[in-house]
Amino acid sequence: MPPSTTLPPAPAPSTSRSTPTPTPTPTPTSPSTPNPQLALADHLLTLLRTSTTQPRPDEQLEALTLAVAADLPVLLWGEPGIGKTAALTQLAASLDLPLTTVIASVHEPTDFSGLPIVGDDPAVRGVPMAPPQWAVELVRAGRGLLFLDELSTATPAVQAALLRVVLERRVGALQLPPDVRIVAAANPSASAADGWELSPPLANRFVHLYWVHDKDVVVRGLGGVWPRAELPRLDPARLPEAVAFARRAVCGFLEARPTLIHRLPSTETRRGGAWPSPRSWEAALALLAFGTAASVSREVLALLVRGTVGDGPGLELFAHLDRMDLPDPESLLADPAAAELPERGDLRQAALEAVVAAVGARPERARWEAGWAVLVRALETGAPDLLVAPAAVLASLRRDDWEVPEAVERLVGVIDVSRRADRSVDRVAANARRATGAGR
């Protein structure tokens, strides 16, 4: 009989079901403990947004700050993404002014003209026009930069409501403080989102500046250094002189060109820009005074004046300013040896032509000889080629009994050389034209 084998006892049957071990639930992050990766992302964004500013010549930025100093509403025109909003943000920071941005196209007319609120006894007290919150905050601050963005996408009704805001600085029944400056921005109607042309009454209230990008400014700015917006430095000693000059310039010009006092453009697009009116000439006068007192460049002043009364009238005004700077021809004839002639070639030419014209208006031998002496003075202090035309006209004024003065001898050789040079240039140009024609 084989030996017996002992088997292990069978396990006792379980009286309860086994429960699986629960997986630990992650503890939610405390609100005061930011996600480490988001914290790093925020730090990187801070580094990207950190930049500095430095003084740097920038004509359009200088024009903007001068108009802001003169308390004139400015409208920046430019394509989307050109940097208008960034320029206004940097301007407000540089001038230490709170910036209030209002997107005109997303507001109703009542947001600017005021919302009627019926109060106690409206028959006696009337119905007040309650201003929006942004206007109340501006009044509470007492100063600021009001930025009206996307002006060209505002409906005609909103544009009409903006008229009092821009000119009278009133929002409903609220008067904005004197230290609030107004700057607007707009895209050309062709590139605006559902854009409208600006209404002529609103357009005529602005100084229009056309904002373009400067390669060097953009490259240096993306590298972390932007140009700094600074208010113009007015010379206290020049203030009365600047006002007198501006009034004399504008009044003298409009006296000579009265048809430019008010000229409404014929096309809708041009009516939405700068055009001449008594209101815009008043603004141009103020800009001339500020520019003269601050000694700004001719280019900056031209941007502002043309942005106020339009390109054509603005250029004519500057031509008038050039004539104002010309010396009196009678003073030159009275003392030719001490004659001070303009350095710029076009102004020098105009001054010499004025001298010859003065001699022609009253042809006398002494005046004719003084005219030649002025031309000799011009020869001693400037380019000889400018003398050819005035000398030819002055020579034609000679009477038979007038002897040729010795001063003419000094001019003959120079004028003859200049004429031969001109004829040589003409021959070269003619030969070039003939060669071009033969090659066809």
- Calpha distance 181→141 (Å, rounded): 13
Q: How far is CA 100 from the centre of its chain?
A: 21
What is the pairing mode between strands 225-227 and 99-103? Answer: unpaired
- Calpha distance 82→195 (Å, rounded): 17
Q: Which has more confidence, 19 or 312?
A: 312
Q: What is the pLDDT of residue 388?
A: 81
User: Among 21-25, 30-34, 161-165, 373-377, whose mean pLDDT is lowest?
Assistant: 21-25
Is the pLDDT score of 423 beyond 70? no
Q: What are phi and psi of 148, to 5 degrees?
A: -95, 100
Is the pLDDT score of 426 beyond 60? no
- Tell me the pLDDT tens digit for each residue of 118-159: 666 666 666 777 888 889 999 999 999 999 998 888 888 999
- Tell me the pLDDT tens digit for each residue of 236-272: 999 999 999 999 999 999 998 999 999 999 888 899 9
Share of the chain above pLDDT 90, in %: 36
- Tell me the pLDDT tens digit for each residue of 276-308: 999 999 999 999 999 999 999 999 999 999 999
Q: What is the pLDDT of residue 16?
A: 45
- Tell me the pLDDT tens digit for each residue of 347-357: 888 889 889 99
DSSP state of 197: P
Tokens of 439: 């090659």
Q: Which residues contact 396 (CB under 8 A, 6 or more apart)?
A: none
Is the pLDDT score of 1 beyond 60? no
Domain boundary assignment for the chain: 53-115+128-227, 236-325, 329-431
What DSSP line would sit under 226-257, residue for residue?
EEPP------GGGHHHHHHHHHHHHHHHHHH-
Measured in Å, how far apart are the chain's first and last C-alpha atoms?
132
DSSP state of 172: T
Helix (H), strand (E) at residue 119: none
Q: Which has more confidence, 319 or 428?
A: 319
Supply the pTM of this predicted model: 0.72
Helix (H), strand (E) at residue 440: none
What beta strand segments (E) does 26-97 contain? 52-54, 74-77
Q: What is the pLDDT of residue 260?
A: 93
Q: Which has more confidence, 24 or 330?
A: 330
How distant, in Å, are the alpha carbons of 87, 188, 189, 265 from that of 192? 19, 6, 5, 22
Number of neighbouring beta carbons within 10 Å of residue 173 = 13
* Residues 85 and 185: beta-carbon distance below 8 Å: yes
Q: What is the pLDDT of residue 3?
A: 47
CA angle 326, 328, 331 (to 5 degrees): 140
User: Among 56-70, 77-91, 185-199, 316-330, whose mean pLDDT is lowest?
Assistant: 185-199
Q: What is the pLDDT of residue 437?
A: 56
| Nearest in space to 376 (alpha carbons), one of 389, 387, 365 | 387
Mean residue pLDDT across the chain: 82
Q: Residue 240, class by beta-carbon neighbours within 10 Å (0-12 exposed, 13-18 middle, 19+ buried)?
A: exposed
Residue 7's pLDDT band (boundaries 50, 70, 90)?
A: very low
Q: What is the pLDDT of residue 129?
A: 77
| Nearest in space to 374 (alpha carbons), one of 327, 335, 418 | 335
CATH architecture label of 53-115+128-227: 3-Layer(aba) Sandwich (3.40)
